Amino acid sequence: MKLIKNIVRTAALTGLLLSVNACNMFDLDVNTDPINPSSTTPNLLLTNAENILFANLAGGTNYAQHGFMGMISSNDDWNVPATSWNGYWNSMYANVLKDLEGVIEASVATDERAENPHYLGIAQLLKAYTYVTMVDQFGDVPFSEALKGNAETAIKFPKFDKDEEVYRACRQLVEDAIVNLNKTSGVIVEGDIVYNGDIIRWKKFANTFKLKMAMTTRLVNPAEAKSTIEALISAGELIGSGAEDFQFQFSKTVTPDNRHPWYQGTYTGGEFTYISHQMMVEMLVDGDPRFPFYFRRQTKKVLDPNNPTDKGTIPCVTTPGCTYGYLVANQNVIDAIYTNQGKTFGADERDFLAGIFGRDRSDPAGVPADGTLRTIPGVYPCGGYYDVATPGLPAANAAPGGGIHPALTHINVLYYRIEAALALGAATGDPRTLFEEAIRKHIAKVSTFGVATDLGNAVAPSSDTINQYVAKWLARYDAAPDNNARLNVVMKQMWFSSWGNATELWNAFRRTGLPTTLQEPINPVRDEPKRMPYPQQELTLNPSAAPYINVIYDRDPIFWDKN
């Protein structure tokens, strides 16, 4: 990924003394370099912090979390090398958090300048969100001594603070941020590429973030979580629409390339990893209207098992234990999608199904030359192509671009409310009504984005298609015998609704153990991950990390994981 960073460098100039006997010919300020200033403004730092934060969130760890949840093949066997997150860890600290500290320092009142409370509040929220994300992924992290390498009393090897203590400090940061956002400010916030300086939306994000933290940690103190969640729902100042979603709009430009990471990995001549057969097949069986927005087929070629080259490319040809295998040749799949639903399976249907080419979960077969056959991410959320009737290979850099990363949305709020009602008995609304609303609103979010992005190709689903799909899921909800079974249905739908951002899904899975209907890895290398492994570079270079060398990611849970 190419990330363009505004780099602030301290000027270092060699003094030049000009001595003249008669008069000063030049008025030279040897301490000022206008090209390389020694300080910068909060708006530039804020832009950079937001840009890199969302590139990180949509990129590497997002792949792994999709794999943990059986949605794509990255890490779907639960094997995660410790070297995987060196760059991510370093970028979160050296870029995102360092720049946010710069915004905070530049926004606090001093003898020379007035306070900038709105910049300060936004930076505090983003700092808290970044640290909470890191805790949810890794557990204990450097916090109280972090980012002090250039301090007057430099700390080169910051200690790791306990995960629960970091959460507590971040809750206070959010409360401080709300106080600052409620202050009157004479300074208009610029450089905010998330909410464009809209303080009302930032305050709704702050309250929604509090709701997120209460839900994530609900197993630690259920009674406190219940009361906190009910108070936040009752107050009503939460993200409630797509316009208020905490999400990032990536660029469409090639240079500099700040396009969605999935776009960069798919539509610029590269190859995306395999998409889960289970997800694609079940969406087709149910008639999920989001399917053509999520996925794009590249071919209609049917591989010949009698051809040695084709045989080596056919999914699961060397792997026992597959459920789906080569879909177009799997009669069980054909029956589920077509025959059992009274539909004809003819030549057109065969051509369509041939393009649904992914992997069963943790199929350990090698990677053949099948990049032109794989189903790839579609228009939502990465700004690729809608799945049209005739599949084809996308030309490099030709898809629309302008993808999004939906980090914390009004859909997440609905799922929090459902979980709180079913698991805690909280008064957050009727869970069945909220469930229907969550399905309909997510379909609307996906289709609205897709139609606006891939103009001329994407088509909004009909109301009949949506109604039939919703009815199937409400019937499953109604058939569930108890609240835990109902929550299992809800979490499975959340699985389908989390394409593009598996962070909240993985958190929910760790605290609920749901859904229980995901395909088990065929050949798991490790046990189910409870956290990310600490980056090898941090363990090697920071002596304060020594106690964490023995932390095992598939054994040792985060403090809030009591499931």
Q: Are 489 and 480 in contact (CB under 8 A)?
A: yes
Are the CB atoms for 520 and 361 separated by under 8 Å?
yes
pLDDT at 39: 60
Is 193 found in the same domain as 85?
A: yes
Give the C-alpha separation, 49 to 517, whole Å: 38
Residue type, 47: T
The answer to whether the beta carbons of residues 138 and 82 sit under 8 Å apart is: no
235 and 312, same domain (yes or no): no
Q: Are residues 212 and 96 in the same domain?
A: yes
Domain coverage including residue 308: 264-377
Asked whether 114 and 164 are in contact (CB, 8 A), the reply is no
Find out whether 382 and 260 touch, Cβ atoms under 8 Å.
Answer: yes
Q: Give domain status of residue 212, yes or no.
A: yes
462's CB contacts (< 8 A; 6+ apart) are none
CATH number of the domain at 487, please.
1.25.40.390
Residue 218 lies inside a defined structural domain of this protein = yes
SS3 label, residue 377: strand
Identify whether 242 is part of a domain.
yes
Do residues 308 and 420 share a domain?
A: no
- Domain count across the chain: 2
Does 127 map to a domain? yes
What is the pTM assigned to this prediction?
Answer: 0.92
Contacts of 366 (CB under 8 A, 6+ apart): none
Whether 532 is in a domain gets the answer: no
For residue 486, give both structure tokens: 């109902």
CA 538/CA 83 separation, integer angstroms: 10
**Do 203 and 273 reside in the same domain of the chain?**
no
Quote the distance between the C-alpha of residue 203 and its chain's center.
21
Residue 514 maps to a domain: yes
Q: Which two tokens stand for residue 91?
A: 């970028």
293 and 233 within one domain: no
- Judgement on whether residues 245 and 270 belong to the same structural domain of the protein: no
Residue 24 located in a structural domain? no
| Residue 543 DSSP class | G
> How much is the pLDDT for 8?
35
Q: What is the pLDDT of residue 563?
A: 86
Residues 244 and 277 occupy one common structural domain: no
Claim to verify: residue 220 and residue 94 sit in the same structural domain: yes
Mean pLDDT, consecutive 10-residue stretches, the chain (563 aa), reads: 36 32 41 50 96 95 97 96 94 98 93 90 98 98 95 94 98 98 94 98 98 98 98 98 98 94 95 97 98 98 94 91 96 98 97 98 92 97 97 95 98 98 98 98 98 97 98 98 98 98 98 98 96 97 97 98 93
* Domain shared by 91 and 216, yes or no: yes
- Are both 371 and 459 inside the same structural domain? no
**Any domain includes 393:** no
278 and 369 together in one domain:
yes
Last residue of a domain, one of 360, 377, 394: 377
